[in-house]
Amino acid sequence: MEKERYQKLKEIVQTYLPDDVSEDTIQLESNFTQELNINSANLVDIVLDVEDTFDIMLENEDMDGMQTVADALKIIDTKIASKQS
């Protein structure tokens, strides 16, 4: 389950990588803007894709705390868990 979510998230993030950054660069601890060189404006689009893919809704404060891939996964897990409870 966890692995599947990570895989799906990676697929989303990959679309926003600059052409000179390989998808293998994406690791759990990767920082979206600093390490993956993703344009900060595109973080907005990543959030929208995450919402569509996992059928959840993220708030502004969730976005603020989303610095790394691991942060995003954690938020996704929390949202899905609160949806199921």
Binding site for other proteins (CB under 8 A): 15-19, 39, 41-45, 48
Token output for 10? 């990676």
Query: Judged by CB, which is closer to other proteins: 60, or 84?
Result: 60
- For other proteins, give the closer residue by CB, 1 or 43: 43
DSSP code of 81?
A: H
What is the number of H-type helices and E-type strands within the chain? 4, 0
Residue labelled with tokens 């990588």: 17
Locate 58 and state its tokens.
């993220």
Smallest distance, other proteins to C-beta of residue 44, A: 4
Closest CB to other proteins among residues 42, 67: 42
